[in-house]
């Protein structure tokens, strides 16, 4: 049985219809629920007792999250924490989190929120495998268990997926159909891309090979200049760039990088048996310290105090330096 969980009724309806047409022999169920709703998620896990969880729920649009930091934290951090904690409570075998290359040396709220989610998941995994670790808050029940929780937490980190919701391909297609212009933020901006089937296969394979605590980095090939992608799409439509369809540069948006990275300066990788999947050697955190800091962060988010949210994020993720953003002034304002 495959459980499809989404808070978007339309998205859930669309994928349900698609699966009905293409996978007639597959047993699946659509479940409307929000990862931010702890009671609803507890009901989901209690009812269906999943063995494997693939956690992809997230806000992902950089400019929108730059304007709404508290909401980014409620979904990307609190939502991840809720699902991860439920996975432990209900005996999930493996929890696979979908992260992003924007979590590396983040320059925006969205990327930093995903890095914090990575940190929570990885440090929770490591604490579960540590003897005599004392849990507090919502996980304190673990201290009284005779058997250790079995859940293994795995993270996958990769770039943009061609044709996914909100990606440049559908937007460029719409702009070309309207006669242009096609808008690109900067002539030098580049991004990593992979196709939907490739991303799905690699996520599933990383989930299978993961033993717990890994951050898997996918080989995305060479980065692509967005302007070249725009030109190629215009030509595929039988038109000429800057003759039939104008390319217009709109300027980098708040928090946006010219190029993305898959590792920061202090990280490196180890190979796996799969040529396209590597294990990132990243800084590890002590769960009890992280849990306290994340609790503080979530309190700021619940109060919708965007300034304190960003200060707490920068305290947690030291490499988070805002770019082209109103939060640049907070880069040196960190709490203990």
Written as six digits, the tokens of 254 are 């708040």
Q: What DSSP designation does 262 have? A: S
Overall residue count recorded for the chain in this entry = 336
Per DSSP bridges, beta strands 224-225 and 190-191 are antiparallel
Q: What are phi and psi of 157, to 5 degrees?
A: -125, 120
Secondary structure of residue 312 in the 3-state scheme: helix
Q: Which residue among the candidates 60, 81, 94, 102 is catalytic per the annotation?
A: 102
Per DSSP bridges, beta strands 193-194 and 94-100 are unpaired
Written as six digits, the tokens of 245 are 């369809």
Q: Is 152 a catalytic residue?
A: no
Secondary structure of residue 190 in the 3-state scheme: strand
- What is the rounded distance in angstroms from the CA atom of residue 63 to the CA atom of residue 288? 32
- What is the rounded distance in angstroms from the CA atom of residue 299 to the CA atom of residue 277? 37
- What is the rounded distance in angstroms from the CA atom of residue 163 to the CA atom of residue 204? 19
Q: Catalytic residue numbers?
A: 102
């Amino acid at each position: 049985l495959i459980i499809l969980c989404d808070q978007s009724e339309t998205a859930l309806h669309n994928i349900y219809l698609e699966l009905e047409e293409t996978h007639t022999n597959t047993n699946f169920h659509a479940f409307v629920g929000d990862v931010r709703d702890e009671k609803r998620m507890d009901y989901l896990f209690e009812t269906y007792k999943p063995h494997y969880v693939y956690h992809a729920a997230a806000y992902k649009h950089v400019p929108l999250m730059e304007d709404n930091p508290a909401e980014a934290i409620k979904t990307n951090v609190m939502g991840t924490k809720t699902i991860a904690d439920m996975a432990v409570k209900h005996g999930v075998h493996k929890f696979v989190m979908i992260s992003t290359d924007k979590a590396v040396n983040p320059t925006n709220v969205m990327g930093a929120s995903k890095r914090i989610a990575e940190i929570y998941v990885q440090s929770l995994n490591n604490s579960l495998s540590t003897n005599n670790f004392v849990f507090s808050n919502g996980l304190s029940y673990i201290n009284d268990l005779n058997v250790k929780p079995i859940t293994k937490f795995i993270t996958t980190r990769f770039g943009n997926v061609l044709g996914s919701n909100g990606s440049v391909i559908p937007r460029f297609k719409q702009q070309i159909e309207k006669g242009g212009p096609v808008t690109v933020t900067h002539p030098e901006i580049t991004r990593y891309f992979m196709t939907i089937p490739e991303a799905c296969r690699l996520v599933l394979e990383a989930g299978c090979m993961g033993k717990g605590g890994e951050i898997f980095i996918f080989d995305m090939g060479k980065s692509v200049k967005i302007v070249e992608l725009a030109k190629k799409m215009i030509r595929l439509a039988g038109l000429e760039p800057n003759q039939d369809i104008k390319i217009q540069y709109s300027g980098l948006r708040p928090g946006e990088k010219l190029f993305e990275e898959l590792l920061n300066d202090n990280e490196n990788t180890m190979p796996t048996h799969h040529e396209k999947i590597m294990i990132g050697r990243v800084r590890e955190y002590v769960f009890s310290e992280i849990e306290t800091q994340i609790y503080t962060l979530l309190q700021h988010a619940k109060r919708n105090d965007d300034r304190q949210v960003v200060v707490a994020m920068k305290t947690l993720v030291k490499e988070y330096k805002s770019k082209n953003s109103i939060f640049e002034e907070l880069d040196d304002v960190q709490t203990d």
